[in-house]
């Protein structure tokens, strides 16, 4: 028979772990330096997969001088992604189609970038998606 | 052998008195709907969970990140406490309900965190984290549903590419192998059933694994049926699907009658009803595309529960099991 205290601890353990994880992610995002990384569609025919953008960092069009030692830490980005090593940026369902059409209609005139919160040695966290240097929400508002 | 027959034998052997036999039968009759109520609680839990999801989803975009996270953690905390409370007060139905909701809420929380922080991990990472954090519920809840779901999560994290390749090769020769496949499944099913019987009821995980394999026999029949063209509308293929599924279930019902196994008969009768319900659902799938339709779908589930309850009651009264 498990003691009452152990039972309580076991039941609340997932809750505590998840809370700890969230706080860690919050701290990483809040304390990191903002870096802008150019992105390219993982598969141009399917930039939007579901309600997230699947992409890969485009290191040839990224300014590596913004990182502390002037080198792009490629191995740190999207470390947790396994399937085809594609990164994800989640977007609301209602905007998915508009963004998809935008990409399909003029893929060469648009420059997609993601602002990451970067702390040396840790997996950077995506914060914002930029289209031609402005946040994607603003871009969609201005270019309906 | 039915309980009436069993107790009759015991009275004949002077193991129990006639009075005790009546008491046992009365006790069993008063507890007959326990499983049903637990099932009803499970379905109610899933419906409530889905209802909450819909409510949140409808207002998702206007909610700030922090509100989403605080709300989610508050919900998970409340559900976990409710699980703890139901365990302490020994309320079986509520324990089942809150355990399932807490287990589902863990998965939802992982998904929400991944979405808010734009984490790129795929299904394997998600299922692995969920299975790991859900472990305490496996141990404490004793819920078969959670056990089976947990095993499904663990199995999906395994590299199935090679197995998939093998099966895709087999599927190519599908038509010729159908009969052999059904026979093989039937043998496997009985073997597994024997194994489940051999397990101690308190060894939850191996028992759950065996139960999962048992369920997979039914799933395989469904997969087989799907290959016959479940999602197609041509009459001959649809007929093939239904013939496969109903044939298998009829075979199980026949064996249950022959061996006078009321539990097996009940289970397969219920599965037949669920299958009929699924056919109905498939043909009215557009119902589920609106909020109002969702409520209609919920009501349909309640009707199904009512039908299942009536069926199980009727089966218990059947002469063949007396």
Cα–Cα distance, B262 to B257 (Å, whole number): 8
User: CA nearest A33: which of A116, A137, A135, A121?
Assistant: A116
**In this structure, is residue B129 part of a structural domain?**
yes
Residue in B with minimal Cα distance to A125: B117
B247-254 long-range Cβ contacts below 8 angstroms, 24+ apart: B247/B182, B248/B182, B248/B185, B248/B186, B248/B221, B249/B275, B251/B186
Residue B50, token pair as written in the block: 């889905």
Mean pLDDT of B164-170: 62
**Opening angle at CA B160, ends B159 and B163, nearest 5:** 140
Complex-level ipTM beyond the 0.85 threshold: no
Cα(B24)–Cα(B204) distance, integer angstroms: 27
- Per-chain mean pLDDT for chain B: 74
Residue contact A89–B134, C-beta within 8 A = no
Q: Could you give the number of structural domains in chain B?
A: 1
pLDDT greater than 80 at residue B190: no
**pLDDT attached to residue A23:** 92
Q: Report percent pLDDT > 70 for chain A.
A: 79
Residues of chain B contacting residue A7, judged by C-beta atoms under 8 Å apart? 84, 87, 140
* pLDDT for residue B191: 76
Pairing assessment for the beta strands A134-135 and A125-131 based on DSSP bridges: antiparallel
Host domain of residue B121: 49-156
pLDDT digits (tens, 9 = 90+) for B17-68: 888 888 887 777 665 556 666 666 666 666 666 666 666 665 666 778 888 8
Give the contacts of B59 (CB within 8 A, at least 6 positions apart).
Answer: none
Report d(CA A18, CA B103) in Å as an integer: 13
- Give the highest mean pLDDT range of A126-135, B119-128, B206-215, B276-285: A126-135
A15 vs B117: CB contact, 8 Å cut-off? no
Is B147 among the domain residues? yes
Does a structural domain hold residue B178?
no
Residue B112 belongs to a domain: yes
A81·B115 Cβ contact <8 A: no
In a domain, B243, yes or no: no
Residues with Cβ within 8 Å of B26's Cβ and at least 6 positions away in sequence, in order, are: none
Hey, is the C-beta of A84 within 8 angstroms of any chain B C-beta?
no
pLDDT at B13: 85
Percent residues over pLDDT 90 in chain A: 6
Range name among A76-80, B141-145, B179-183, B305-309 with the lowest pLDDT average? B179-183
Establish if B93 belongs to a structural domain. yes
Does a structural domain hold residue B234? no
CB A131 within 8 A of CB A143: no
- For position A16, what pLDDT does the model report? 92
Q: What is the pLDDT of residues A15-67, one digit of tens each?
A: 999 999 999 888 888 888 888 888 876 554 444 444 777 788 888 888 888 88
CB proximity B119 to A under 8 Å? yes
Q: Tell me if B10 is assigned to some domain.
A: no
Helix (H, G, I), strand (E, B) or coil at B70: helix
- CA B73 to chain CA centroid, Å, is 27
Compute the half-sphere exposure of residue B253: CA atoms within 13 Å on the CB side of its CA. Answer: 14
Instruction: Check the CA dihedral B61-B62-B66-B68 and report its sign.
Output: negative
Q: How far is B72 from chain A (nearest CA, A)?
A: 11
Q: Is B121 on the interface with A (CB under 8 A)?
A: yes
Query: Among residues B108, B116, B59, which one has the least CA distance to residue B79?
Result: B108
**Residue B298 exposed, middle or buried by CB count within 10 Å (0-12, 13-18, 19+):** middle
B136: left (phi over 0), alpha (psi -120 to 50) or beta: alpha
Q: Which of B99, B102, B112 is nearest to B75 (CA)?
A: B102
Q: Is the pLDDT of residue A129 over 80?
A: yes
pLDDT of residue A34: 87
pLDDT at A15: 92
Average pLDDT, whole number, for chain A?
78
- Which one has a higher pLDDT value, B314 or A57? A57
């Amino acid at each position: 028979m498990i003691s009452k205290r152990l039972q309580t601890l076991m039941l609340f353990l997932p809750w505590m772990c998840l809370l700890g994880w969230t706080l860690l992610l919050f701290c990483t995002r809040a304390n990191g330096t903002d870096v802008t990384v150019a992105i390219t569609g993982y598969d141009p025919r399917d930039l939007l997969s579901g309600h997230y953008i699947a992409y890969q960092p485009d290191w040839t069009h990224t300014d590596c001088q913004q990182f502390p030692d002037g080198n792009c830490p490629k191995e740190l980005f999207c470390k947790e992604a396994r399937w085809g090593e594609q990164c994800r940026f989640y977007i609301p369902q209602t905007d998915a189609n508009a963004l998809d059409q935008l990409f399909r209609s003029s893929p060469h005139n648009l420059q997609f970038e993601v602002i990451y919160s970067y702390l040396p040695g840790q997996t950077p966290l995506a914060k914002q998606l930029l289209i031609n240097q402005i946040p994607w929400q603003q871009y969609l508002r201005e270019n309906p | 052998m039915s309980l009436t027959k069993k107790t009759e034998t015991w009275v004949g052997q002077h193991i129990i008195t006639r009075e005790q036999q009546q008491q046992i039968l009365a006790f069993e009759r008063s507890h007959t709907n326990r499983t049903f109520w637990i099932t009803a609680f499970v379905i109610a839990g899933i419906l409530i969970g889905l209802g909450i999801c819909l409510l949140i989803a409808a207002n998702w975009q206007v909610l700030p990140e922090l509100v989403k996270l605080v709300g989610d953690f508050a919900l998970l905390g409340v559900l976990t406490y409710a699980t703890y409370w139901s365990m302490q007060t020994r309320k079986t139905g509520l324990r089942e309900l809150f355990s399932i909701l807490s287990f589902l809420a863990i998965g939802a929380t992982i998904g929400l965190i991944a979405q808010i922080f734009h984490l790129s991990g795929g299904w394997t990472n998600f299922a692995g984290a969920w299975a790991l954090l859900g472990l305490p519920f496996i141990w404490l809840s004793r819920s078969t549903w959670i056990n089976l779901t947990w095993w499904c999560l663990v199995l999906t994290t395994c590299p199935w590419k090679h197995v998939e390749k093998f099966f895709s090769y087999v599927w190519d020769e599908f038509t010729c192998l159908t009969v052999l496949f059904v026979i093989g499944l039937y043998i496997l099913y009985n073997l597994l059933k024997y194994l489940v019987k051999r397990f101690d009821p308190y060894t939850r995980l191996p028992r759950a694994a065996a139960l999962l394999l048992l369920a997979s026999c039914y799933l395989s029949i469904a997969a087989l049926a799907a290959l016959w063209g479940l999602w197609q509308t041509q009459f001959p293929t649809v007929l093939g699907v239904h013939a496969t599924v109903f044939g298998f279930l009829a075979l199980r019902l026949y064996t249950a009658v022959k061996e006078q196994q009321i539990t097996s008969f009940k289970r397969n009768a219920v599965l037949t009803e669920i299958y009929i319900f699924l056919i109905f659902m498939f043909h009215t799938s557009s119902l589920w595309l609106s909020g109002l339709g969702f409520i209609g779908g919920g009501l349909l589930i309640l009707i199904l529960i009512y039908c299942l309850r009536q069926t199980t009651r009727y089966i218990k009264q059947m002469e063949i099991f007396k």
